[in-house]
C-alpha cells in the first residue's frame, strides 16, 4: 500500500509543478513581449495599445489601437495577420504609411547595437504577439 501511495503523491507533485511552470512561462513571454512593444510600438500605438501614441503628432495618419484587433475581427485575434503585417509581408492600404517594416529595420530600439541573431528575433516577435493577444479587450 505504502509504495503505491508514495507513487501517487509523487505523481500529483509532478503534475502540479508542471501546471505552475506552464503558467509562469506564459507570463514571462507576455512580459518579454511587453518590453519589445514598449520600445518598438508604443510611441505610435500607445503605451497600452490604445492607439494614437505620442509620435502620432508628427504623422499624417493616426496609428490605430492594437488592443481592439480581436474585436474588429469577429472576436478572434488575427495572429497570422499581425505577424505578417509587422514584417512587411502584407500590402498596406496606404503605401506611404509610416508603419515600419520590421523585417527591414529590425528591432533597433531593443538592440541599438545590433547583435540579435535570427533565432532571438523570432522569439522576440513570438513574445510580442503573445503580449498583443493578452491585451485584447
Binding positions for ligand HEC, rule: CB under 6 A: 40-41, 43-45, 55, 59, 61, 63-64, 66, 69, 82, 85-86, 92-94, 97-100, 102
**Cα separation, 110 vs 113, whole angstroms:** 9
Specify the residue, 93 or 119, whose C-beta has the smaller distance to ligand HEC.
93
* Residue 66, C-alpha cell as written in the block: 492594437
Per DSSP, the three-state class of 26 is helix
Q: How far is the CB of 115 from ligand HEC (least distance, A)?
A: 18
* Residue 127, C-alpha cell as written in the block: 513574445
Specify the residue, 10 or 98, whose C-beta has the smaller distance to ligand HEC.
98
Q: Is 119 left (phi over 0), alpha (psi -120 to 50) or beta?
A: alpha
Q: How far is the CB of 123 from ligand HEC (least distance, A)?
A: 14
Specify the residue, 3 or 59, whose C-beta has the smaller distance to ligand HEC.
59
Amino acid at each position: 500500500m505504502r509504495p503505491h501511495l508514495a507513487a501517487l503523491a509523487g505523481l500529483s507533485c509532478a503534475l502540479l509543478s508542471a501546471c505552475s511552470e506552464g503558467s509562469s512561462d506564459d507570463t514571462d513571454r507576455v512580459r518579454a513581449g511587453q518590453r519589445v512593444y514598449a520600445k518598438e510600438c508604443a510611441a505610435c500605438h500607445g503605451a497600452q495599445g490604445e492607439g494614437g501614441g505620442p509620435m502620432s503628432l508628427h504623422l499624417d495618419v493616426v496609428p490605430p489601437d492594437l488592443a481592439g484587433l480581436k474585436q474588429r475581427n469577429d472576436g478572434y485575434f488575427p495572429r497570422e495577420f499581425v505577424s505578417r503585417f509587422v514584417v512587411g509581408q502584407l500590402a498596406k492600404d496606404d503605401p506611404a504609411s509610416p508603419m515600419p517594416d520590421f523585417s527591414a529595420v529590425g528591432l533597433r530600439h531593443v538592440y541599438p547595437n545590433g547583435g540579435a541573431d535570427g533565432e532571438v528575433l523570432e522569439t522576440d516577435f513570438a513574445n510580442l504577439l503573445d503580449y498583443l493577444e493578452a491585451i485584447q479587450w
